[in-house]
């Protein structure tokens, strides 16, 4: 399938208007929006993730690309729901209890959406109950973000809470979090940035399927 260069570049540039108009035209003309999503928008967001990982772009560029993509997603979400667009899985993402930092978490959310997952965004300050609710709503992976050394310890409680439930995987991240810490508390995965967050989820969902 061919890539729509205009859409691809609009995501890279964070050009929300162009993204909206391309999707709106496709919807008006009854064209397949899945194709735009899968062959243009998702690859563009992946490219942004890679560039971010390589320190070629920074948070502002990521945020406006994310905003452009979100605008596109909002337009096509009703259609995707109708068409039973096959989701790759449901992922819950939230910043842990006591912590209000959400910029990194928001980037993880948008990258996962971009990669084709259904995402439950639990927001900030998430206690165990919020994670439980997300699991009840179908989440197979719960992702915890923390930016404070004082709140990252809460992740251990989340891991322990789901310890006896083999179907749920816990993935953690945030600036002070390391692979070593993830291993020490028995988390199923860790990602250094939003790009790695998607990669670890892809690995784990492959394992779940």
Partner 1 sequence: MKHSNLASLAKEQYRLKKRLVAPLMGMPGLKMINSTIKLGQQNFRIHYEAIKALADLYQPDIVFPLMDLSVEANAIGRYTLFPLDDTATLPHVTFNLSQVKILPKIDITADTRALGYAKVTALLRRNIVSKILKGVYVTGPYTLAALILGAEETARSVILDSQGLHALLDYTTKVIENYTELLIESGAQIVCILEPSASMLSSSHFEEFSGNYVKQISALCAVHKVDTVYHVCGNTTHLIKSMAESGVSGLSLDSPDSGVNLPQAITEVPEDVVIIGNINPVGKILTGSPFEVKEEVNELLESVDQFPNFILSTGCDLPKNTPIENIEAFMKAGREYRISAF
Alpha helices in 54-102 (DSSP H): 59-82
Instruction: Out of 24, 83, 103, 203, name the contact with partner 1 by CB under 8 A.
Output: 103
How far, in Å, CA of 143 to CA of 27, rounded?
A: 33
Site for partner 1 contains 59 (CB under 8 A): yes
**Ramachandran quadrant class, 161 (left: phi over 0; alpha: psi -120 to 50; beta: rest):** alpha
- CB of 146 closer than 8 Å to CB of 116: no
Beta bridge partners of 120: 92
Site for partner 1 contains 61 (CB under 8 A): yes
**DSSP label at residue 192:** S
15's contact among ligand B12, partner 1, none, with CB below 5 to 8 A by partner kind, is none
- CB of 101 closer than 8 Å to CB of 147: yes
By rule CB under 6 A, what string of x and - marks binding of each residue 7-46 to ligand B12? Answer: ----------------------------------------
Site for partner 1 contains 137 (CB under 8 A): no
Site for ligand B12 contains 100 (CB under 6 A): yes
If the CB atoms of residues 40 and 145 are measured against ligand B12, the closer one turns out to be 145
Strand 141-145 relative to strand 90-96: parallel, antiparallel, unpaired? parallel
Site for partner 1 contains 50 (CB under 8 A): no
**Minimum distance between the CB of residue 179 and ligand B12, rounded to whole angstroms?**
11
3-state secondary structure labels for all residues of 94-111: EEECCCCCCHHHHHHHHH
Instruction: Out of 67, 77, 83, 103, name the contact with ligand B12 by CB under 6 A.
Output: 103
Contact region with ligand B12 (CB under 6 A), list: 16-24, 28-36, 73-81, 192-200? 192-200
Which residues in this chain contact partner 1 in the complex, by CB under 8 A?
14, 55, 57-61, 63-64, 67, 102-103, 106, 149, 175-176, 178
């Amino acid at each position: 399938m061919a890539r729509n260069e205009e859409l691809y570049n609009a995501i890279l540039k964070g050009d929300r208007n162009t993204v909206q108009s391309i999707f709106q035209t496709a919807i008006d003309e009854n064209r397949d929006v899945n194709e735009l999503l899968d062959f243009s928008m998702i690859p563009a967001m992946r490219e942004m993730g890679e560039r971010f990982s390589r320190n070629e772009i920074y948070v502002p560029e990521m945020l406006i690309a994310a905003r452009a993509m979100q605008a596109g997603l909002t337009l096509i979400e009703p259609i995707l729901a109708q068409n039973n667009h096959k989701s790759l899985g449901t992922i819950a993402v939230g910043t842990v209890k006591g912590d209000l930092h959400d910029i990194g978490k928001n980037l993880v959310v948008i990258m996962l959406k971009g990669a084709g997952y259904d995402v439950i965004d639990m927001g900030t300050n998430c206690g165990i109950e919020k994670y439980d609710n997300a699991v009840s709503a179908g989440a197979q992976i719960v992702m915890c973000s923390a930016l404070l050394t004082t709140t990252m310890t809460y992740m251990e409680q989340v891991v322990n809470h789901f310890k006896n439930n083999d179907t749920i995987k816990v993935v953690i991240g945030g600036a002070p979090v390391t692979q070593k810490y993830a291993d020490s508390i028995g988390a199923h995965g860790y990602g250094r940035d939003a790009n790695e967050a998607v990669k670890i989820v892809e690995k784990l969902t492959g394992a779940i399927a």
